[in-house]
Amino acid sequence: MGALIILSLILLGVVLVQIGKVNELSASIRGEEEAQESANRNHAIIGMGFMISFLVFVIASFIYYKDSMLGYGPLEAASIHGVEVDNIFNVTMVITGIVFFLTHIALFWYAYKYRGRAGHKAKFIPHDNRLEIIWMVIPSIAMAFLVIYGLAVWNMAMADIPENEVAGKDFIEIEANGQQFGWNLRYPGADNHLGATYYKLISSDNPFGQVWDDPKNHDDFQPSEIVLPVNKKVRVRITSRDVLHNFYLPHFRVKMDAVPGMPTYFVFTPTKTTEEFKEGLKGYPEWEKPTDPTDPSSNSRREDFNFELACAELCGNGHFSMKKLVKIVTEEEYQAWLTTQTSYYAANITGEVPEKVDTPAPVDAAPEVIKDEAEETTVIDAKVEEAVDDKKTVEEVIEKAVEEVVEPVEDGTTPK
């Protein structure tokens, strides 16, 4: 197929060269002016043909791909904020689409209408106030509308969790850490809070740099895929270990850079489970095709569909491999999944693997040994910095810091 295309292009080039030679011969026989007028007419007609073919191709390609790649039909946003993102995108497409078609039609029509002909002379118009007002006012109004509407959608989509909302009850917070070339994931355990981290503690067996003397880290777990309950707000804490990455969930219209040294976040609420989304793909021919085109007996694209986490920032040779499976399930299925997860601290640090992770505690029952999350984390980070500066052992200073911010339990001892 590729060879046929190359051969066709070569033949087309030969034909164009021969046409040019024929035009040169015609000019020498009929005279320059007549030949020039004929060339102008031919070029104008070719331009009109190209315009029509190009615009038809644009419309046809949109119709062909809209249900499989362009976010329409069954691929509408599967999150609350995503609906508004799609709306502003569609409004922008309509406005710019009108300009796109009008300017291309005008470009080629004027090239045809005002082509060089004998007896016709171009009109010189150095200034026209009416035209200048039209092409300044109309674009200004359109741009102002798009900017104001876009800012409203941006502020809604980028809003953080309100201070009065409670972790576990009103939202779930997870962490995604990008590195060349993969994603590390971290979920809170029964306390519904992610534990403190410190970047100098990052190692092969501590990918997030978790401070193990922080009790909130003891029940955090690190799954191999993202599993979230439907209709539950999710706050994703996004970090990077090395270079710039991008946390991208296309079906939820979630896209945020993962920047080394600068944590970012994104808040969204899934509105469809994976199975509900698959059900919505039924009836679309594009999604009933075999997943493997060389094997007609393979599952359809609809049957093999899954939400996906990808990296949308070119981050190196292995960029293409930065994928994670994303599953949106019912609340009951999510709670059942939680019971199968094991604390990373228990499994990899202490080696004491419990039979199962307890289901989350009531959201208003914070661990008694923890005073204030923000204050505690700040103190621990400061003490670890002190350990590095004074050449002390990190373990000694962290232990001392935890003793200062953690209340003793009933027997008078400090939990480790």
pLDDT in tens, the chain (416 residues): 677 778 877 887 877 777 777 767 666 666 667 777 788 888 889 999 999 999 999 999 999 998 888 888 889 999 999 999 999 999 999 999 999 999 999 999 998 988 887 777 777 888 888 888 988 999 899 999 999 999 999 999 999 999 899 988 899 999 999 999 999 999 999 999 999 999 889 988 899 999 999 999 999 999 999 999 999 999 999 999 999 999 999 999 999 999 998 999 999 999 999 999 999 998 898 898 888 888 888 888 899 999 999 999 998 899 998 999 999 999 999 999 999 999 998 888 876 665 554 444 444 433 333 334 444 444 445 554 555 455 455 455 455 554 554 444 444 444 44
Does residue 138 contact residue 159 with C-beta atoms inside 8 Å?
no
Of 10, 106, 97, the closest CA to residue 51 belongs to: 106
Does residue 149 contact residue 91 with C-beta atoms inside 8 Å?
yes
Q: How far is C-alpha 387 from the chain's CA centre?
A: 39
Q: Residue 134 class from Cβ within 10 Å (0-12 exposed, 13-18 middle, 19+ buried)? A: exposed
| Element holding 94 (H helix, E strand) | helix 80-113
SS3 126: coil
- Gap between the Cα atoms of 407 and 262, Å rounded: 31
Largest distance between two CA atoms of the chain: 112
Q: What is the pTM of this model?
A: 0.71
3-state secondary structure 30-53: HCHHHHHHHHHHHHHHHHHHHHHH
CATH code reported for the domain at 171-360: 2.60.40.420
Domain extent listing, the chain: 14-116+132-157, 171-360, 368-416
| Element holding 246 (H helix, E strand) | strand 245-249
